[in-house]
Structure 1
Amino acid sequence: MSAPAPVLLIDGRSGTGKTTLASSVAASLTASTVVHMDDLYPGWDGLDDGSRLLVEWILTPFADRRPGEWWRWDWERSERAERHTVVADRPLIVEGCGSSSSASRVLADTVLWLDAPVDQRTDRLVGRDDGVDWLAAWTLQEDTFIERECPDRDADLVVEATGSAAAVGARVLSVLERDDRWRPWLRA
């Protein structure tokens, strides 16, 4: 039996560049699936629920080499929408706050904490289409999750998201290139 496809969790606070980094890593792999925690949270008060659903719907089946199934959260309608399948035969990248919990870390191969200065994160968030009306309540959820789950302290790799997105991606890829679990999946 061949080795299972690896799992990368990219956690960090809002505005650190997790989505951009996940896209960069995915583009460097021969095949992969990217799951965004934003699609799992059941609304602005759903960080903990999204973290739990990641383990239940996706990571546990993936660890058993079975397809995972999840239902995207429709932010405009405030309800679950279409179903998605995560196949277990290609690398999985999950990005978003709450992706690295004590329950999810044991099901992952590589856990990354992405950090950035608060002013840089705020500048990025202010530029988003959805505004920042949600930011204060969301930050409280992030604080509670980080204090309880320690994703920053228990990560395999902590990366400062300073400099260009390309430079951050290159730093992460240089680590993955030295890892036997990831090397077969990286583009030459």
Structure 2
Amino acid sequence: MTPDTAAAELLAIARRRPPTLGGARLVCIDGPAGSGKTTLAAAVAAAEPDARVVHLDDLYDGWGGLPRVAEQLDDLLLPLARGEVGSYRRYDWVAEAFAETVPVEPVPLLVLEGVGCGTRRHADLVTALAWVEAPEEVRLRRGLDRDGEALRPQWLRWQVDEAALFESDDTRARADLVVDTRQ
């Protein structure tokens, strides 16, 4: 399935359902690191001009931040569910610290992209959930090609954390659409 085809299918699912995030729809694109979530999010945004994409890479507090991502999503999603401005603190990976607070106005379609965005904690706010996957060796290669071999230990630790999160949240089983990007 191409990213454009997957985006069209995901948007069709979301459009068939009533708004779940206040008066808006929330599409979450979850799956392991290196699986192709960012590519799918870009295709969704290209197909839906009113969409706003938030990348969870901006929310994690470093390589060890995945276990706390559901809590960090509270400040973004809970106000939006009330029709108010949500926000998140952007993490600066170079400075290894949180930087500015980023406001997110209510929009017709909010797309969250990143590991853990489909957390069970916020499942009642999700209009459509996509799970993007690829074999572990493919994902690791993609990540190291992007980030460099020096970050292999961080990637391996991240894979352990994401596997634990996905098991506890049963994310793949709750997905409305599964996209395999093994190429």
Q: Please, what TM-score do these two structures have when normalized by structure 2?
A: 0.82
- Look up the match of 1:31: 50
**How far, CA to CA, are the matches of 1:48 and 1:88 in structure 2?**
26
Percent of aligned pairs sharing the same letter: 35
In structure 2, distance between residues paired with 1:126 and 1:48: 22
**Cα distance between partner residues in 1 of 2:137 and 2:61:** 28
Q: 2:171 aligns with which of 141, 151, 160?
A: 151
Partner of 2:161: 141
Q: Matched residue of 1:98: which SS?
A: coil
Q: SS state of the match for residue 125, structure 1?
A: helix
Asked whether the 8 Å contact 2:52–2:107 carries over to 1, the reply is: no
1:167 is matched with none
Letter in 2 for 1:109: T
Aligned residues: 161
Superposition CA RMSD, Å: 1.6
Choose the corresponding residue for 1:65, options 76, 83, 94: 83
Q: How many Å separate the matches in 1 of 2:111 and 2:51? A: 7
- Structure 1 residue aligned with 2:123: 105
Query: How far apart, CA to CA, are the structure 1 residues paired with 2:92 and 2:108?
Result: 26
1:40 is aligned to 59
CA contact (8 A) 2:69 2:116 kept: yes
Structure 2's unaligned 5+ residue stretches are 1-18
Unpaired runs of 5+ in structure 1? 164-188
